[in-house]
Amino acid sequence: MPSRPFTAPPWPDMSQWVLQQQANGHSPQVLIASLRRSGWPPAAVRALLQSTGGARPLPQPRAIDAALTAHLPGAQPRVLLQLDQPRLTVFGDLLLPEECDALVGLARPRLQRSQTVALRSGGGQATLRRTSEGMFFKRGENACCQRIEARLAALLNWPLEHSEGLQVLRYLPGTEYKPHFDYFDPLQPGTSTLLRRGGQRVATFILYLNTPQSGGATVFPDAGLEVAAVKGGAVFFSYDRPDRATGTLHGGAPVIAGEKWVATQWLRERVFR
């Protein structure tokens, strides 16, 4: 059990205090709550936690060599693009066409209007910022999910239990997901509830299950990058702290013609139950 955090001391000892509390096992949320109780304004709390890093170990794609492909039965993925800022990899052929079709077939009858996180409660709410339909599979729910989850875990060298179940989304023409971050904002009151199920999100996989006729790229406005949705391809990106400086602001651009189908997997710090 970590020791109780003491009341935050005044500047300039703060960086040392934060590092000491982190070493004692206190989460950023506990430190934020303590700093806010001591009267620190939100912007100052954000700046302090940034300056002390708070960096976490991250899932990171392994080199695709013979040793790895032995663990990826059936798939022959290729790395098409790799960036450091944001930490991002674009893959081709990560899923077989029949795996994409199978996921779409299993998800289609269960689609419902997508939601975003309600910041106050940590629950879900429908908004105009996200107009797709979607559904969640439980982790390991069927053979198709199991096969894909095992492949992603092998590729990332990240425990399978540290992932949320696959979420499948369908975008019809005109629908989109406006730019956002996938991590939970530490300053929002609903975040502590969300963190109980496996800690912070640290990375995202977006798997493309079809090729839309027109539109529907995944966009990274802070990086000036657009990733085209191509069936079987994927984009992976990670974020070592819940901060815009990770460069991971991203969105799903409006579909112009045809449909867009994706599966999203979010990776957590710890076991997700």
Q: Is 261 in the site for ligand PD2 (CB under 6 A)?
A: no
Residues 180-209 interacting with ligand PD2 (rule: CB under 6 A) = 182, 206
Whole-number Cα distances in Å, 125 to 28, 188, 210, 242, 265: 26, 15, 27, 21, 20
Q: Is 164 in the site for Zn ion (CB under 5 A)?
A: no
Out of 149, 164, 176, 182, the only residue in the binding site for Zn ion (CB under 5 A) is 182
Closest approach, Cβ 184 to ligand PD2, in A, equals: 12
Asked whether the beta carbons of 169 and 131 are under 8 A apart, the reply is no
Nearer to Zn ion, 26 or 201 (CB): 201
Supply the angle between the helices 143-156 and 97-107 in degrees, to the nearest 10: 130
Q: Is 149 in the site for Zn ion (CB under 5 A)?
A: no
207 binds, among ligand PD2, Zn ion, none (CB under 5 to 8 A by kind): none
Pairing relation of β-strands 87-92 and 78-83? antiparallel
Nearest residue (beta carbon) to ligand PD2: 252
Asked whether the beta carbons of 177 and 196 are under 8 A apart, the reply is no
Running DSSP on this structure, what letter comes out for residue 4?
Answer: P
Classify 139 in phi/psi space as left (phi over 0), alpha (psi -120 to 50) or beta. Answer: beta
Q: Is 264 in the site for ligand PD2 (CB under 6 A)?
A: yes
Q: Is 92 in the site for ligand PD2 (CB under 6 A)?
A: no
Nearer to ligand PD2, 135 or 169 (CB): 169
Q: Is 156 in the site for ligand PD2 (CB under 6 A)?
A: no
Q: Is 176 in the site for ligand PD2 (CB under 6 A)?
A: no
Torsion of CA 181, 182, 186, 190, to 10 degrees: 110
Nearer to ligand PD2, 30 or 181 (CB): 181
Nearer to ligand PD2, 8 or 225 (CB): 225
What is the C-alpha separation between 175 and 256, in angstroms, rounded?
Answer: 8
Which residues would be at the binding site for ligand PD2 (CB under 6 A)?
169, 177, 182, 206, 218, 250-252, 262, 264
